[in-house]
Amino acid sequence: MKKILITGANGQLGSELKVLAEKYPEYEWIYTDREELDLCNLTKLETELDDINPQIIINCAAHTAVDRAESELELSDILNHKCVEILAKWSAANGCQFIHVSTDYVFDGTSAIALTEEAAVNPINVYGKTKLAGENACLENNPDAIVIRTSWVYSSYGANFVKTMSRLMQERDALSIVNDQIGSPTYAADLAQAIMVILTSSNWKPGIYNFSNEGEISWYEFALAIQEIGGFKCGISGIPSSAYPTPATRPAYSLLDKSKIKNVYEVAVPYYKDSLKKCMQLLNNVT
């Protein structure tokens, strides 16, 4: 029985993989978060991997607080880059399949067309820079690894835009949402499913793949969809990024082209509103 190690198991993607694991009893699942496997302790990481001895690693762990990363450069570099290098080296040396999750923030946002895996990278914030360093370390140290870039992740688990908006729309009469950052959201359950399609395929093709839901929208349009599905009465207006300054600059355009993952693995990519409805139905059941 192959052993799958999930890092960052309490995050959005890790939590969705836990749910999905019930459909894959042929694997032994090992879930770790910082308590079980401290990725910041670089000196002990190799030994701990030896002890677990997985045949597959799915690295969902990251320093994803984009604004905090600007002032937490060292922590961001350890979690998004240096530990990835060790995971990649260990998996290469031990014949272990390695899937590493990355981000659309490796791009600078100047494109006007959906970004393929070959598009030029040029991150404009610390989070993006450390994630790009992690991608490079991953593929340099384990050329047989798979990197999946994703964007605007949300889930019924953890903290995210969908849950925050759903709450604020019930608490406030009006909200202003940035309308000049364009991309597509990703329901973490869909990404988890895509990962399992890759793992259960007999066709392991290393390299970088993009995955997000279908649709080209702004955060403002995303908020409108949340409002519509939730039936919230809150007024929503669009504002430029300049009216909502943040420590980290975000790319203005980071829509991912999903052609490669569809062609190589026949991964189904749902439309963003269909997945958003599923997630919000789960949230309504919870609340």
Catalytic residues: 127
- In this structure, what is the dihedral angle of CA atoms 117, 16, 182, 121, given to the nearest 10 degrees? -30
Beta strands in 83-123 (DSSP E): 97-103
Within its chain, how far is the Cα of 125 from the centroid?
17
The b/e string for 138-160 (b: 16+ C-beta within 10 A; e otherwise) is bbebbebbbbbbbbbbbbbbbeb
From 255, 155, 260, select the one nearest 212 (Cα to Cα). 255
From 134, 152, 163, 225, select the one nearest 191 (Cα to Cα). 152
